[in-house]
């Protein structure tokens, strides 16, 4: 019981100092152990890193103050250790998907993150037998960029298997003794585990080629990131063996959970046939991870009958695919986009006089504008593409080919980031959105006004086409460098 008391004394110390600096040396004195040993123990018993626990407790208490006090947001930020309102704003939005000011204005209910309490529990099993219940301490979030697709779920599972934690303070390559890659990461003050998940999600989506697909106007080239090809590439790129089962998988799921490996499951009745992460079982019912928390509806539990297939993750092996393989895959997909003249197909639909749109049904014109807005949302994967290159590519390059740590590859990274980020492809995507949403569709515009709207769309689409050409050229240069 003395050990349990020490653990609760640590929690008490943390709670008393959430508004001050938490001294890890003091925690060592309380636990009578090195801080690294206690951190490992804390993670194994709670499923969350000690630093992440502290960060989430601070954020929740800050959320509580927003709702229940009239203190200024800047004062609340400073109270819980944030050096600026911007840092607090970024951390709060990553945690709760809303800004502090919006949460206060709308009096939002924030999901609580309660204080821990350690207890010793002993249970007697009636009759000498019981149904097995087991669960993994899975506290990894999922990206807000996507619903629970395979890549989103895989990223969180990958972090769990690799024991990847969040980043608490700003991290810059220069601080690790390397040259600046121009990613502008120095402007960000506070990263967390959600940021790390989204960053890796961007990498896997980019390396697998998902973020390079362009759907055609008629929707015949829609990319699904749950295809067998994408799944196979992702596992072989990260170095994990796997097995896909389509029947008789209940027992195999339990064995995998017993081995502390979550299972990826494709749900039958989901509207988009999306994936879930199975992290535990209770008899023949399965516990599902959602947003870092276990949520199991007792009135509608998930069983093996609810899954069309499951993916069992096996041994860690040497990756079969390298960065060079990934870049070649990206090139192939982008070249296919060019061969299919994807952008030209869109542009053609808005050539006002060539398409005789002045005589077209108004509903047809509205359909075309709606379609480009759908495309706009889809093509925001270029933002993830840019994120992958500016945040992670430098580490991948120097890991696989340290001799390429020179200005040539830095120039490629910077060009791709500038082309696909906010001032390039990203902003033009928003223009497509504005051209549809800001138009008054209750009245038909004829003549010059109608022609002008379509002309703006054509100019924007031509810019997007040009951006893709620039990035494809940079990918070719990167392949040449890695191939030499």
Which of 64, 84, 105 terminates a domain? The answer is 105
Please tell me the predicted confidence (pLDDT) of residue 5. Answer: 82
CA dist 9 and 235 (Å) reads 43
What is the pTM for the complete model shown? Answer: 0.65
Please tell me the predicted confidence (pLDDT) of residue 401. Answer: 57
For the chain, what is the domain count? 2
> Cβ of 63: how many Cβ atoms within 10 Å?
24
In a domain, 85, yes or no: yes
Please tell me the predicted confidence (pLDDT) of residue 189. Answer: 38
Which of 105, 128, 161 terminates a domain? The answer is 105
CA distances from 7 to 22, 34, 43, 450 (A): 15, 14, 13, 70
- H helices, E strands: number in the chain: 19, 7
In a domain, 77, yes or no: yes
Please tell me the predicted confidence (pLDDT) of residue 341. Answer: 93
From the list 154, 149, 196, the residue with the least C-alpha distance to 171 is 196
For the chain, residues with pLDDT lower than 70 are: 1, 119-136, 144-147, 166-192, 220-225, 269-273, 290-301, 390-406, 422, 446-447
Q: Which domain holds residue 405?
A: 322-483
> Cβ of 117: how many Cβ atoms within 10 Å?
10
Strand ranges (DSSP E) for 8-152? 133-135
In a domain, 236, yes or no: no
The answer to whether 310 and 268 have CB atoms below 8 angstroms apart is no
In a domain, 259, yes or no: no
In a domain, 10, yes or no: yes
Place of tokens 């709060």: 92
Residue 7 belongs to domain with CATH number? 1.10.10.60
pLDDT in tens, 341-376: 999 999 999 998 888 888 888 888 889 998 888 888
Residues ≥6 apart with Cβ < 8 Å to 71: 65, 79
In a domain, 121, yes or no: no
pLDDT in tens, 165-211: 765 444 444 444 444 544 444 444 344 677 778 888 888 988 998 88
Residues ≥6 apart with Cβ < 8 Å to 18: 54, 57, 58, 61, 80
Please tell me the predicted confidence (pLDDT) of residue 184. Answer: 46
In a domain, 178, yes or no: no
Which of 81, 105, 129 terminates a domain? The answer is 105
In a domain, 53, yes or no: yes
């Amino acid at each position: 019981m003395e050990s349990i008391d020490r653990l609760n004394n640590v929690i008490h110390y943390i709670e008393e100092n959430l508004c001050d600096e938490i001294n890890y040396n003091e925690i060592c004195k309380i636990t009578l152990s090195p801080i690294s040993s206690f951190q490992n123990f804390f993670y194994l018993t709670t499923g969350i890193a000690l630093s992440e626990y502290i960060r989430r407790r601070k954020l929740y208490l800050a959320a509580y103050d927003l709702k229940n006090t009239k203190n200024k947001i800047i004062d609340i930020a400073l109270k819980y250790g944030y050096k600026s309102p911007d840092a607090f704003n970024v951390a709060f939005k990553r945690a709760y998907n809303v800004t502090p000011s919006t949460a206060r204005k709308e009096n939002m209910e924030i999901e609580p993150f309660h204080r821990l309490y350690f207890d010793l529990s002993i249970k007697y099993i009636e009759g000498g037998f019981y149904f097995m219940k087991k669960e993994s301490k899975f506290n990894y979030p999922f990206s807000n960029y996507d619903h629970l697709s395979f890549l989103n779920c895989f990223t969180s599972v990958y972090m769990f298997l690799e024991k990847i934690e969040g980043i608490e303070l700003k991290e810059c390559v220069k601080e690790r003794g390397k040259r600046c890659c121009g990613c502008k990461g120095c402007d960000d003050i506070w990263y967390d585990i959600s940021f790390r998940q989204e960053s890796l999600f961007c990498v896997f989506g980019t390396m697998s080629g998902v973020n390079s697909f362009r759907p055609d106007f008629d929707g015949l080239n829609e990319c699904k990131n749950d295809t067998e090809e994408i799944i196979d590439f992702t596992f072989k790129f990260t170095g994990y063996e796997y097995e896909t089962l389509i029947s008789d998988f209940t027992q195999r799921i339990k064995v995998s959970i017993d081995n502390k490996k979550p299972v990826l499951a494709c749900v039958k009745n989901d509207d988009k046939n999306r994936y879930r992460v199975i992290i535990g079982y209770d008899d023949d019912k399965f516990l599902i991870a959602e947003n870092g928390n276990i949520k199991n509806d007792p009135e509608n539990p998930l069983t093996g009958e609810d899954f069309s297939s499951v993916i069992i993750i096996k041994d860690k092996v040497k990756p079969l695919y390298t960065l060079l393989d990934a870049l070649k895959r990206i090139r192939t997909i982008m070249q296919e986009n060019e061969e299919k003249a994807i952008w030209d197909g869109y542009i053609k639909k808005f050539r006002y006089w060539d398409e005789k749109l002045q005589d077209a049904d108004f509903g047809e014109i509205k359909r075309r504008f709606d379609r480009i807005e759908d495309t706009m949302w889809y093509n925001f994967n270029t933002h993830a593409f840019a994120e992958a290159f500016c945040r992670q590519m430098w580490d991948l390059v120097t890991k696989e080919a340290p001799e390429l740590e020179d200005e040539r590859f830095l120039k490629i990274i910077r060009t791709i980031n500038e082309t696909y980020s906010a001032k390039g492809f990203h902003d033009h995507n928003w223009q497509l959105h504005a051209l549809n949403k800001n138009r008054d569709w209750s009245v038909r515009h004829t003549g010059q006004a109608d022609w002008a709207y379509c002309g703006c769309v054509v100019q924007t689409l031509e810019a997007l086409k040009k951006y893709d050409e620039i990035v494809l050229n940079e990918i070719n240069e990167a392949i040449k460098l890695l191939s030499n």
